Amino acid sequence: MQIEIYTKSATLPALIKGPALHSALMFRTIEQSRGCKPYMLVGYDKEGNEMGHLLIIKRRSIRIIPPVLNYWYTINGEGAYRSEYCSAEREEIFAEFLEKVFDMLDFRHTFIEVLNIEDSRFAYSTLSSRSFIPMRDQRLYISLHSKEPHERLTRAYKAHIRKAEKSGVTHKRATTLEEISEGLKLLRNYYRSKIQRKLPKENILRTMLYTTDGALSDKAKLFIVKYKEKIIGSSLCLYEEKRACLAYSCGLRKRYPLLYPGIMAIWAAITDAHNNRYVHFEFLEARALPFMQRKFIHTLLNFGGKQVGTLRWYRFRWNWINKILRRIYI
């Protein structure tokens, strides 16, 4: 297999369909993000046909006290592969991608992380042989195919949604320029004070919501919650072939506590995903939250969510740190 590395969206070739986290849209979004640089690894067979691709993100963080400049690489998921490949073949291609990643590493990087792998068994031996350390992580999702979303709600949340709707609260997808601007402004104000969950800049989010020709994208949608023509809640959802992923959500909970705008913002994304026949709805916000924010996970479980354990892999530049951590976690 021949592997080509692309760092500019202008030279990016047509890619096979795959997860949103490894799409050309995500590549362009990361390319415009401050402190990030995308690398798209594309594997070709002897005939020049694409076998799969993997998006690698180089991130940078600056700390003033103490003065530290960190670089690290993120692999967000197992990548995208041709549909006819079995799991073993995908693991072999992923292993070659991983070897290419080590070839392109610079001496300044602090660590590499591999996260959001759905099947914990995928590439376990490959990552372990390269001295990666597996740490426990979790996924939180709702199955939309077996039951109606309303049937999965707890009794309290059914009452909250019913009360909000009777009070005149409505929700819809933001389609106009004014609605999108107001919805993004609400998200920006909410996430401004969040340490663990940061919101990208508005121009980056607009890149996700629109296609290159200016039309509304099917890969990302912004939902708004309205009460008396005022937007009181907002949520942003990403879409793959069979899965919808809630990335950000917020509501004016303190100003309108009896209208439950935060709940309605999430409910808007869930009902839209169900109406468009998506199989699963995943809460990306629930990933790797600190202990003090576990109350937020309890809130998401009231929508009928299920918690599934998974692994997040790390490998540091210094081998002595890897050896110590492997003794602790393995």
**Assigned token pair, 129:** 């042989």
Residue 263: its pLDDT value, please?
94
Query: Could you give the domains of the chain?
Result: 2-130 (3.40.630.30), 141-309 (3.40.630.30)
User: pLDDT tens digits, residue range 132-173?
Assistant: 999 887 778 888 888 899 999 999 999 999 999 999 999 999
What angle, rounded to 10 degrees, do the helices at 177-191 and 202-209 form? 130
Phi and psi for 143 in degrees, rounded to 5? -85, 125
Percent of the chain residues past pLDDT 70, beyond the cut: 92
Residue 237 has pLDDT above 90, yes or no: yes
Res. 179 pLDDT band, cuts 50 70 90? very high
> Regarding predicted confidence, which is higher, 20 or 320?
320
Residue 197: its pLDDT value, please?
63
> Regarding predicted confidence, which is higher, 245 or 297?
245
pTM: 0.81
User: pLDDT tens digits, residue range 200-227?
Assistant: 778 888 888 988 788 898 889 999 999 9
Smallest CA-to-CA distance from 296 within 249, 264, 226 is with 249
DSSP β-bridge partners for residue 3: 43
Residue 51: its pLDDT value, please?
94
**Assigned token pair, 29:** 């979004």
